[in-house]
Amino acid sequence: MSEEFEVAPPPTVGSNILGKICAAYKDIVFMMAAYDDRSGRPDLAEFASIAPRNLSSNSMTFYCIDAPVSNTIVLLMGKLEFDPIYVSAEVTSCTEGFWERKRRYLVGCDLIRRI
């Protein structure tokens, strides 16, 4: 049985919450990019910031500004100055809506493996 937990609530309105969990952990980033296992990890410039919502051992949901362009993505999680974690994932849902009064996409994905 996988244990699921809620990510800390976002900071106050007007702050840049994409790519950050909350103000206390502002140096931890969450990013995504399209993934093709034949070409390896994407360059850092190809990643876009995301705001995590839920994370479990085998799935994740997050908010992003643009919908993923591919059904297979790679997630980057951690501190960029150290060795961040890269995980391949398959997009299972993508819903357009509003969050903090801005148009966003809520994306659900199954985590496949660490790369």
Cα–Cα distance list, 105 to 4, 24, 34, 95 (Å): 21, 24, 16, 5
Q: Do 9 and 24 touch, CB atoms closer than 8 A? A: no
Is the model's pLDDT at 107 over the cut of 90?
yes
Higher pLDDT, 29 or 18: 29
Q: What is the mean pLDDT of the chain?
A: 81
C-alpha torsion sign, points 16, 3, 70, 84: positive
| Structure tokens, 64 | 């992003």
Per DSSP bridges, beta strands 48-49 and 85-99 are unpaired
User: What mean pLDDT is predicted for residues 17-22?
Assistant: 41
User: Percentage of residues in the chain with pLDDT exceeding 70?
Assistant: 77
For the chain, list the domains and their CATH numbers.
Answer: 17-114 (2.40.10.220)
At 66-77, the pLDDT tens digits run 999 999 999 999
Is the model's pLDDT at 80 over the cut of 60?
yes
